[in-house]
Amino acid sequence: MNNPVFWTLFIQSAIITYLCMFIGAGLSWWARKGQPEFDEEE
């Protein structure tokens, strides 16, 4: 698909989106470190 406008915006947006996801997942993991598990046994 020869569409430079779409691909430039898509790649830039994907980088920002995944950056947000990794920051969120990292902070969440850091906050949970050493905390008890709240999920019930399945």
Partner 1 sequence: MNWAILAAVLVYEVALIFGLGLYFANQQKKQAAGGHGFLLSNRDLPAAVVAVTMALTVLGTPHIFGMFEMSWFIGATSIWFGLAHAVLLVFTITTTAIWARRMKVTSMPEFIAMIFGEVPRLMVGCVMAGVIWGLLTLESQGMGIIFATMTDLSIQQGAIIGGILGILYVVFAGMKEIGWVNLVNMVVMYIGLILTMIYITAGMPEGGWQRVQSFYIDADEAHMLSLFGTPELLVTFALATVLSTVFCQSINQQLLQPAMAAKSEKTIRKTLWIAVPLNALFGVFMATIGLAAKADPVAAELGPKLAAPAMLLNTLPPWLVAWLMASLLAAMLSTFAMSSLAPATIFTVDVYRNFFNPDATEAQERRVTRIMVVILGAAAFLVAGFMPTILNAINWIFAWLTPVFWLVIIGLFWKRSSLAAILTMAVTWVVNSAWSFTSLPAMLGMEGQPNVYPSLAVGLGLCLILHAILPGQPGLFCGPKGSRITRADLDGVQTMPAE
Rounded Cα gap, residues 7 and 20, in angstroms: 20
Total residues in contact with partner 1, by rule CB under 8 A = 29
Closest distance to partner 1 from the beta carbon of 26 (Å): 10
Task: Give the integer Cα–Cα distance in Å for 5 and 12.
Answer: 11
**Beta carbon of residue 3, minimum distance to partner 1 (angstroms, whole number):** 5
Q: Please list, in sequence order, all residues whose beta carbon lies within 8 angstroms of the beta carbon of residue 1, skipping any fewer than 6 positions away.
A: 7
Interaction site with partner 1 (CB under 8 A): 1-6, 8-10, 12-14, 16-18, 20-21, 23-25, 27-28, 35-40, 42
